[in-house]
Structure 1
């Protein structure tokens, strides 16, 4: 074997996979699993709610609410699948980092639009209709799915940039200063 053949080709070499903190992939995967279950529950509630609603499917708001819950389920499902691949050590998973981050950002828009559509759908019924409570359940499930699963974008280390994570860091920092 010649010396030229034993050297790796820098153009064709595979970039190193980033190191993930021990247990982080499993924690993030569990968080996205919780989010996925909540998102699926939100879809089911949003699909069933018009059957018990005064307006039914007559307006476009229920359709937007259903579309938002389905979109959130897809976003959380993507994050769950990617963290599962990281945990198993899948090749090429880190090439999805930008898509994961973009899906995370898109989840905020989906949550806002979905929440608005769900609130309008709730307003058409009022609390005396069973559909109102199903819309409320779908709204809570949508927000909880976004907060627990959609924010878990691919990253090498550290918690996500969510409000609870920022508060936790502030409390930890103030506890260290007080010592």
Structure 2
């Protein structure tokens, strides 16, 4: 329990050091990971059942060679592909937004530093260093959030692509 309290205090201190923009970075990171976990669950648990049902339906058809049969096959593949690709664009967008949100924190932090310098003058280097440190923390947090998202979203995208290819390969095109 003491460990959790210390962890919460560390997080609170980090956010206090970096500013309120870190809440936005954290929210984007949380949403991104929720979406990636949901997509991973769909690709590994739900889609194999969907694919099995499509293959069963295709094998049950008497006509698999006509133009109409090929269009039905293409429609089933397209619908399954759309379901597989759902929310992937949103995940990529969140990954790309994390560093930009961090940069926003840096810009607002630097504006604060310049305001303090305008009021108190430039004679206090320790005050300036603390302000610049506070301004760079959101960029670091945004970059770390984006790096975690880039790695896993790329792997997830590869899994989606492989699943699509397996479905296409599983439906014979006579």
TM over 0.5: no
**Could you say which structure has the larger radius of gyration?**
2
TM-score by length of 1: 0.41
Task: Name the one with the larger helix percent.
Answer: 2
